[in-house]
Amino acid sequence: MTTLPASTTRKLGLVIDLDTCVGCHACVISCKGWNTENYGAPLSDQNAYGADNAGTFLNRVHSYEVQPEGDAAAQLIHFPKSCLHCEDAPCVTVCPTGASYKRVEDGIVLVNESNCIGCGLCAWACPYGARELDAAEGVMKKCTLCVDRIYNENLPEEDREPACVRTCPSNARHFGDLGDETSDVSKLVAERGGMDLMPEQGTKPVNKYLPPRPKDTLPHEGHDLDVLAPFLKPVAEEPKGFLGWLDKTLEKL
């Protein structure tokens, strides 16, 4: 059914830390790797070794430059983006076949690929560009929140989280239940002021983004720039003994 559930038991999703993401694209690759060989149709590439190559990805990393007012230095922010598993997912209600749905038990938004006619309307309805129609399979692909990992008892316990979360070298992606106030991810969101993307679109995303921390500022005048500096002052300005003799001799040459 493509009507949305009134509420979901849990709200599984990701929390993405824009402060620590280093823009290495490791999550992009691990996502493609896992999802091309597991649940659903593979993520195809077109003309992979040619000049005009393209392919299907469920997760992509943008980079933005933010220029603050005045002459402050610009900040470069890497910005991973995958499906936000919205509570009010417009992609689900537009689907004519019922292929797109939101699960009642955990809130994950999925596509039943054997029902999808590839009309693309759900991708039109998603403001975030989280859905891509696979050119080879003709069906809609999107982030599954690695539903085939998180409940997978054949995997070791530590691997039962999304591939992108597992692989991130800077711990910029966190996975958990955002419907549970006591969960680690919810605490993180509360602590760091986690935000919604395009809140005015009314999609109520489950995934949250942690804003970059402000850059360090220079201390006021009159203060020492570095508290350790006094301790690191050179102890002997003039060399003595043998070194002193050497210094003077070399000077004369």
Partner 1 sequence: MHPAPSVIFFTTFSGLGFGLLVFLGLGYPGVTGWSAFAFLTIAYVMAVGGLMASTFHLGRPERALKAFTQWRSSWLSREAWCAVGALVLMGLYGAGLVFFGTRVTALGVLGAALSLATVFTTSMIYTQLKTIPRWNMALTPVKFLSLSLAGGGLLAGQLTIALVLLVIAGGVQLLTWKEGDKALAASGTNMATATGLGDRGTVRAFEPPHTGTNYLLREFVHVVGRRHSQKLRLIALVLMTVVPVLLLMLPFSHIIGILAIASHIAGVLTARWLFFAEAEHVVGLYYGKR
Q: Which of the residues 215 through 244 are near ligand SF4 (CB under 6 A)?
A: none
Q: Decide if residue 82 touches ligand SF4 (CB under 6 A).
A: yes
Q: Which of 58, 208, 218 minimizes the C-alpha distance to 147?
A: 58
- Give me the phi and psi of 76, to 5 degrees please: -100, 125
Q: Which is nearer to ligand SF4, 41 or 126 (CB)?
A: 126
Considering only CA atoms, which of 11, 61, 54 is closest in space to residue 167?
A: 61
Cβ at position 175, least distance to partner 1 in Å: 20
User: Token pair for residue 142?
Assistant: 């999107």
Pick from 7, 19, 33, 74 the residue near partner 1 by CB under 8 A. Answer: 74
Q: Which stretch binds ligand SF4 (CB under 6 A): 96-104, 151-159, 219-227, 239-247?
A: 96-104
144 binds, among ligand SF4, partner 1, none (CB under 5 to 8 A by kind): ligand SF4
Considering only the stretches 169-177, 192-200, 224-232, 245-253, report the one whose residues sit in contact with partner 1 under the rule CB under 8 A.
Answer: 192-200
| Residue 119, φ and ψ in degrees, nearest 5 | -80, -20
The closest of 140, 137, 130 to 100, measured between CA atoms, is 140
**Can you read off the two tokens belonging to residue 105?**
């038990």
Which lies closer to ligand SF4 via its Cβ, residue 89 or residue 189? 89
Which residue of 12, 15, 164, 210 would you call a contact of ligand SF4, by CB under 6 A?
164
- Is residue 142 a contact residue for ligand SF4 (CB under 6 A)? yes
Q: Which of residues 35-54 bind partner 1 (CB under 8 A)?
A: 52-54
Please report whether residue 58 would count as binding ligand SF4 according to CB under 6 A: yes
157: which residues sit within 8 A by CB, 6+ positions away? none
Q: How far apart are CA 138 and CA 223, in angstroms?
A: 64
**Contact string (CB under 8 A) for partner 1, positions 13-32, x = contact:** -----x------x--x----
Q: Residue 198 phi/psi, 5° resolution?
A: 45, 60
The residue from 22, 104, 190, 195 that contacts partner 1 (CB under 8 A) is 195
The alpha carbon of residue 25 and the mean position of all alpha carbons in its chain are separated, in whole angstroms, by 9
# binding residues, partner 1 (CB under 8 A): 71
Helix (H, G, I), strand (E, B) or coil at 121: helix
The DSSP output letter for 111 is E
Q: Does 176 bind ligand SF4 (CB under 6 A)?
A: no
Q: Report d(CA 204, CA 84) in Å as an integer.
A: 9
User: H or E stretch including 22?
Assistant: none
Tell whether residue 118 is a contact of ligand SF4 (CB under 6 A).
Answer: yes
For ligand SF4, the binding residues (CB under 6 A) are 31, 34-35, 58-59, 82-86, 89-91, 94-97, 99-100, 109, 111, 116-122, 126, 128, 130-131, 140, 142-146, 162-164, 203
